[in-house]
Chains A and B, each alone.
Chain A
Amino acid sequence: MYVPLMILLALLLAVILNSPRIRGFRFFRTLIFLPFITNMIAAGFAFQILLNRQYGLINAFLGQLGLDPVPWLETPTGARISLCLLILWAWLGYNMVLMLAGLQTISGEVKDAARVDGANGVQVFFYITIPLMRPVILFSAVLSTIGSFGLFTEVQALTGGGPQNATITPIIKMYGNAFGLFQLGYASAMGYFYFLVILVLTLLQFRYFGRSDNERSGRRRPREHGA
């Protein structure tokens, strides 16, 4: 649910940051990347305090605007939205840096050529940047999707899978079965089932953009085609 939003936001931020007219590139990049290297347990509890229905800062702010307090963590929908917020907070920076790396491999000469041919900024973005960024966008989307199956810490720290199992993930369910209900056999079976699901997704990923490893490793520099 949050993957498309995250990809769009990450791309938007990367494009903004990549613009030579923006000052404080390092400052903003560091700020946005900071959550990624933060301990998720601490972040989950910080979000719990922020999103608290009665005492949280977010609801106090909404109250100032004249809105009713939102039961962020008490209702299934609210909890899902809160979880999306937390994941967005934590992973947006990572995806943004991936996109930034992708943007920087696009040779400036390609864009210049398009401009000489009379393309405006919007056209350059949609006909040059987006097509050339496609592998990076796909990579980012697939990685986020696969990562969603393995969500654990974020959920455990924020909602514990509740309320009414609204935010439950495979790993949370497995953990609950194994160490809450001591259904170790069932939990092991689940583990293998999710392994198969993720294996299939990963094989699809390899099939559709096989050697993304090279594209990621940044060995190719734009200068290669520039000459």
Chain B
Amino acid sequence: MSVAAGEDLVNMARKLMDGFTLTAMYAVLIAVSIFMILPFIWMLNTSFKLPEDVFGLPPEFIPANPTLINYQYLFQDNSIVRIVGNTFFVAAVGTALRLFFCSLAGYAFAKAPVSESDGTIQLYHRYDADSRRGNPHSRLHSDARVLSD
């Protein structure tokens, strides 16, 4: 009887500890997430504030006088077309050139004989061969194998 009660007590304590650990884990996650998301939220609500309200006291989480004027400026500003256009230009031309030249270089790497003198190709082939062998020199790998053997 008393032994069973003792076991119950131990089980209860363990459950309590488990619950506590889980709560603590969630607490850490949520605290860090708030820290991570705060600047994004703050920028969002600042974007709905008038210039004179941005540095208002006390800081407001939900603007008292929300305004769309900042977004209105954004779309009236003609430079936005230029800015977005530049981005698209760089993205398109960059991708096209990269595809062209990198496929040429990739072909060369795949076909070229491995020469002792060429450091770059050597390096590439060595890493490639290592990873195919499963790289016995890798510390992570060898440790894991020792432990699982």
Give residues in A with beta carbon < 8 Å to B.
Answer: 9, 12-13, 16-17, 19, 21-22, 28, 31-32, 34-35, 38, 42-43, 46-47, 49-50, 52, 54-57, 60, 63, 89, 92-93, 102, 105-107, 109-110, 113, 128, 131-132, 134-136, 209-211, 213-215, 217, 219-220, 222, 224-226
Number of interface residues of B (CB under 8 A): 37
Q: Is there an interface contact between A132 and B127, defined as CB atoms closer than 8 Å?
A: no
Q: Is there an interface contact between A131 and B143, defined as CB atoms closer than 8 Å?
A: yes
- Nearest CB on B from A29, distance (A): 10
Chain B 89-126 interface 0/1 with A at a Cβ cutoff of 8 Å (1 = within): 00000000000000000000000000000000000000
- The main secondary structure of chain B at its interface with chain A is helix
Q: Is there an interface contact between A214 and B144, defined as CB atoms closer than 8 Å?
A: no
Set of chain B residues within 8 Å of A19, measured between Cβ atoms: 25
A-B interface pairs (CB < 8 A), number? 119
A219 and B148 in contact, given A16-B25, A19-B25, A46-B43 (Cβ under 8 angstroms): no
Give residues in B with beta carbon < 8 Å to A.
Answer: 22, 25-26, 28-29, 32-33, 35-40, 42-43, 46, 54-59, 127, 130-131, 134-135, 137-141, 143-145, 147-148
Q: Is there an interface contact between A220 and B55, defined as CB atoms closer than 8 Å?
A: no
Q: Is there an interface contact between A32 and B33, defined as CB atoms closer than 8 Å?
A: yes
Which residue in B22, B29, B39, B144 is a CB contact (below 8 Å) of A110? B144
Set of chain A residues within 8 Å of B134, measured between Cβ atoms: 220, 224
Cα–Cα distance between A135 and B33 once the two chains are bound (Å): 27
Cα–Cα distance between A42 and B44 once the two chains are bound (Å): 12
Q: Is there an interface contact between B137 and A211, defined as CB atoms closer than 8 Å?
A: yes
Q: Is there an interface contact between B131 and A31, defined as CB atoms closer than 8 Å?
A: no
- Nearest CB on A from B117, distance (A): 21
